[in-house]
Amino acid sequence: MKFAVNVSTIFTEAPFLARFAKAKQHGFSHVECQFPYSVAPEAIADELEQLELSLVLLNLPAGDWEKGERGLAIFSDRHDEFRRALEEGVRYALALGVPNLHCMAGVLPRDLPRERAKETYMRRIDEAAATLAVHGLTLTIEPINPFDMPGYFLTDIEEAAAIIRDLGRTNVKLQYDVYHMARLGRNVTATFADYAPLIAHVQFADAPGRHEPGTGELPYREIFTFLQECGYNGAIGLEYIPSGESSESFSWYDEYRSGTKGGDR
């Protein structure tokens, strides 16, 4: 099993570039991140190469995060900005050897009809997928629960799957976040099984709380074993918020690191 530390949510006590070494020090060979765009890709690539780390996922730029923006893809009047975000994301992915790019949809304004937003969203996803396909990259879309992200456009995995099927792009896949599925009240293993052929990337945080495995109510051992038995061979992104110091949030990982359950090494 491959676990990928999300360096945007873990090791935040350290500067961004220093987090990669910390992931390596704790026995990981895979990482993911949300938005690396404040750091030159060359600097990140140097860290990855020196530490022999694989970066498996990043997000496309998603607008002004500090102002509450969570994606650009549903806004018909922001196409130029979306194109620039797409170009920037591809530039980083190619420089860093990242296979998966997540496109956030956006928060639906009250004055934007949902059907109009969906039409725009599907055009943007199709456009992004076509651009990524040229480079052999996969575009992911992720249902996100409305409690953590109120107003987010895409919360329904059935809708996400239908969009993927309607588009018919082989490089558009689901990003399956166990935490969000649990917060949405879904049976996380049954739902994964239902959509397994469409899933390219899995993320995990315990629920409730969004902390490390073992801090909430999810049977993480059973979930990880289930994913392995289903034949999922991608990385499991650890997009959790440590309940204390980041370095103290990996006690659950000991049994996987030792190899008894197929650890990351």
The 8-class DSSP code of residue 60 comes to P
Q: How far, CA to CA in Å, does 265 sit from each of 25, 253, 261?
A: 12, 12, 11
Beta strands in 41-181, from DSSP E residues, in sequence order = 54-55, 57-59, 100-102, 138-141, 172-177
Gap between the Cα atoms of 89 and 102, Å rounded: 9
Strands 54-55, 30-32: pairing kind: parallel
User: DSSP secondary structure string, 106-123?
Assistant: -BPPTTS-HHHHHHHHHH
Backbone Cα Rg of the chain = 18
User: Would you name the residues annotated as active-site residues?
Assistant: 142, 239
